[in-house]
Amino acid sequence: MFTIPSPCLKNWLLDTGSLTERLQSQCTSFHLTLVGQRQAQITLEEFRRVSAPNQELNLEEWQVREVLLWGDNQPWVFARSILPQRLCESDFVNLNTKPLGQLIFNDERFKRMPFELTHMSPSKDFLEKLHIESEMKLWGRRSAFTFEDLQMTVSEVFLPNSPAYQEMK
- Going by the annotation, the residues of the binding site for substrate are 65, 100, 156
- Coil vs helix vs strand at 87: helix
69: β partners: 32, 77
Closer CB to ligand ISJ, 103 or 136, in the complex: 103
Q: How far is the CB of 36 from ligand ISJ (least distance, A)?
A: 11
C-alpha to C-alpha distance for 160 and 121, rounded to whole angstroms = 11
Closer CB to ligand ISJ, 16 or 43, in the complex: 16
Dihedral, CA atoms, 168, 125, 65, 143, nearest 10 degrees? Answer: -40
Nearest to 80 by CA among 135, 140, 124: 140
Q: Which amino acid is at 104?
A: I
Interaction site with ligand ISJ (CB under 6 A)? 18-20, 32, 65, 67, 69, 77, 79, 81, 99-101, 104, 154, 156
Q: How far is the CB of 156 from ligand ISJ (least distance, A)?
A: 5
- Going by the annotation, the residues of the binding site are 65, 100, 156
C-alpha to C-alpha distance for 18 and 151, rounded to whole angstroms = 18
Which residue, judged by CB position, is nearest to ligand ISJ in the bound state?
101
C-alpha to C-alpha distance for 141 and 154, rounded to whole angstroms = 8
Q: How far is the CB of 63 from ligand ISJ (least distance, A)?
A: 11
Nearest to 10 by CA among 112, 101, 119: 119
Query: Could you say which DSSP state residue 137 is in?
Result: -
Closer CB to ligand ISJ, 18 or 85, in the complex: 18
Closer CB to ligand ISJ, 9 or 19, in the complex: 19
Q: How far is the CB of 100 from ligand ISJ (least distance, A)?
A: 4
Closer CB to ligand ISJ, 49 or 65, in the complex: 65
Q: How far is the CB of 39 from ligand ISJ (least distance, A)?
A: 16
